[in-house]
């Protein structure tokens, strides 16, 4: 293999400058808020409208399948969705497939319930974690109380007011999976397509492109992708918080990265013109 060409000292310096510019671009909006506005995407709006269209008192199942590593993107959208449900007096049923996400899930549910003055077991239920993945979804499709005989706090789910008239997955009009892994596909195949409920999804930006085919095939009724999706939901709720502020930093970094990619390509072409093609 030929040795890398170019001045490595300059390249190292350029790398440090790039890091520095990214750091400054991320910090600037927290010092000087920018007048950047954006319009919520169609798919985020569809999920919002689906929640909005549910009759008061309807059950909504949330599967928060992520851990603190994906908190930056998924926590704000989870917060927005739960706030929306509580604001509309819906009954959130919250669970997770990720054991490392239970603590985060509990904090999220208790925070939003306290803000809205809702009571566990009465207005919402936090089921916690159960192992099983797709088997658990199939089990919930047969009997929700059979799959989770107790909630996270150890109260029996049988006869719980928050689960009134909810015996199995098909009794729930809307399920939303907020995921940092492949659980959305699992919910589509083992849940939505088998038991016939509407499925919405939110996910990290990294896995967002994998989910677009399911939007086109209408297997997902709405979708929030990455920090942008979270900011969209905050905008529609008229409660701009961390994600909206984060999007300002995101936009500045993107501008810098676009400039960097274009200039690096010009530099690459220029090097080839001046020095000739590599061996």
Of the candidate spans 48-56, 117-125, 214-222, 266-274, the one that interacts with other proteins by CB under 8 A turns out to be 214-222
User: Taking CB under 8 A as the rule, which mask of x and - marks residues 132-151 in contact with other proteins?
Assistant: --x---x-------------
Strands 174-179 and 198-203 come out as: parallel
Q: Cα–Cα distance between 75 and 110 in angstroms, integer?
A: 13
Count of chain residues binding other proteins (CB under 8 A): 48
> Is residue 128 part of the contact set for other proteins (CB under 8 A)?
yes
Stretch of residues binding other proteins (CB under 8 A), selected from 46-54, 117-125, 226-234, 266-274: 226-234
Nearer to other proteins, 158 or 165 (CB): 158
Q: Taking CB under 8 A as the rule, does residue 177 contact other proteins?
A: no
CA–CA dist 239, 192 (Å, integer): 30
Q: Which of 124, 83, 134 is nearest to 238 (CA)?
A: 83
How far is residue 83's CA from residue 74's CA, in Å, rounded to a whole number? 14
Cα first-last separation, the chain: 10
In angstroms, what is the minimal distance from the CB of 57 to other proteins? 30
Name the segment binding other proteins (CB under 8 A); options: 55-63, 79-87, 170-178, 189-197.
189-197
Q: Sign of the CA dihedral 20, 23, 25, 28?
A: negative
Applying CB under 8 A, among 30, 38, 153, 268 the residue interacting with other proteins is 30
Q: Closer to other proteins at the Cβ: 4 or 131?
A: 131
DSSP classification of residue 121: T
196 binds other proteins (CB under 8 A): no
Residue holding tokens 């996270």?
Answer: 152
Residues in the chain: 279
Assign residue 131 a region (left: φ > 0; alpha: ψ between -120 and 50; beta: otherwise): beta
By CB under 8 A, residue 37 contacts other proteins: no
- With binding defined as CB under 8 A, does residue 188 bind other proteins? yes
CB 163 within 8 A of CB 93: yes
Q: Cα(4)–Cα(8) distance, rounded to whole angstroms?
A: 8
Q: Does 80 bind other proteins (CB under 8 A)?
A: no
Interface with other proteins by CB under 8 A: which range of 15-23, 52-60, 110-118, 161-169? 15-23
Q: How far is the CB of 60 from other proteins (least distance, A)?
A: 22
CB count within 10 Å of CB 79 equals: 22
Run of H or E including 199: strand 198-203
Residues that bind other proteins (CB under 8 A): 16, 19, 22, 26-27, 30, 69, 71-73, 99-100, 102, 128-131, 134, 138, 185, 188-190, 193-194, 204-206, 208-209, 213, 216-219, 225-228, 241-242, 245-246, 249-250, 253-254, 257
């Amino acid at each position: 293999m030929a040795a890398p060409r170019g001045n490595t000292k300059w390249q190292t310096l350029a790398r440090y400058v790039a890091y520095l510019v990214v750091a400054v671009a991320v910090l600037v909006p927290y010092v000087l808020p920018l007048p950047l506005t954006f319009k919520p995407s169609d798919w985020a709006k569809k999920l919002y409208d689906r929640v909005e269209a549910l009759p008061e008192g309807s059950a909504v199942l949330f599967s928060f399948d992520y851990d603190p590593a994906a908190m930056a993107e998924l926590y704000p959208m989870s917060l927005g969705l739960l706030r929306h449900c509580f604001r509309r007096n819906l009954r959130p049923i919250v669970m997770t497939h990720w054991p490392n996400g239970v603590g985060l899930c509990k904090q999220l549910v208790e925070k939003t319930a306290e803000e809205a003055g809702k009571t566990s077991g009465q207005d919402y239920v936090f089921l916690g974690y159960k192992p099983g993945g797709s088997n658990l979804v199939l089990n919930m499709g047969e009997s929700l109380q059979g799959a989770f005989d107790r909630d996270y706090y150890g109260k029996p789910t049988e006869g719980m007011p928050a689960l009134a008239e909810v015996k199995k997955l098909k009794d729930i009009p809307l399920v939303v999976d907020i995921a940092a892994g492949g659980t959305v596909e699992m919910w589509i195949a083992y849940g939505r397509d088998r038991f016939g409920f509407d499925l919405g999804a939110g996910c990290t930006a990294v896995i967002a492109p994998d989910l677009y085919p399911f939007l086109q095939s209408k297997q997902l009724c709405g979708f929030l992708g990455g920090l942008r999706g979270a900011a969209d939901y905050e905008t529609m709720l008229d409660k701009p918080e961390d994600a909206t502020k984060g999007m300002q930093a995101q936009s500045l970094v993107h501008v810098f990265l676009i400039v960097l990619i274009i200039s690096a390509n010009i530099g690459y072409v220029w090097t080839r013109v001046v020095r000739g093609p590599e061996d």
